[in-house]
Structure 1
């Protein structure tokens, strides 16, 4: 259990299809203590390099978490 904000983050991908048949995905990074989404990236496709860049940017802006939940 996290004891303060920034202790642990959870990361999840979600995908859906729009009415016009376009598929999109979201990458969600959640702070487990405050249960707040600190990142929601919505794109048509999320290559691994983008995930790495998003994580590096988030760590730079928010600080590195103790662990990922």
Structure 2
């Protein structure tokens, strides 16, 4: 496991699925900086395809935030 020495060295991306009380399912994409556990992005929708995930990463990149090492 990579242990980062500072912010923006390693990010973790996680896709989660859950359901509301009445049964409606939804998914979340969570991108977190592994150094300081800062949440960089959360995207929520009924389904998350690559067409929805890539713009989130592009938005972080155009905002000047990119991982130096990797995204896990």
Q: Does 1:15 align with 2:17?
A: yes
How far apart, CA to CA, are the structure 2 residues paired with 1:52 and 1:36?
A: 20
Structure 2 length normalisation: TM-score?
0.86
Listed as ranges, the gaps of 5+ residues in structure 1 are none
Listed as ranges, the gaps of 5+ residues in structure 2 are none
Q: How many residues align?
A: 69
Structure 1 residue 62: Cα displacement: 4.2
| Superposed structure 1 runs of 4+ greater than 3 Å apart | none
**Which range moves more in the overlay, 11-20 or 56-65?**
56-65
RMSD, matched Cα: 1.1
Structure 1 length normalisation: TM-score?
0.90
Q: Does 1:34 align with 2:36?
A: yes
Q: Match for residue 60 of structure 2? A: 58
3-state SS, counterpart of residue 43 of structure 2: strand
Structure 1 residue 19: Cα displacement: 1.3
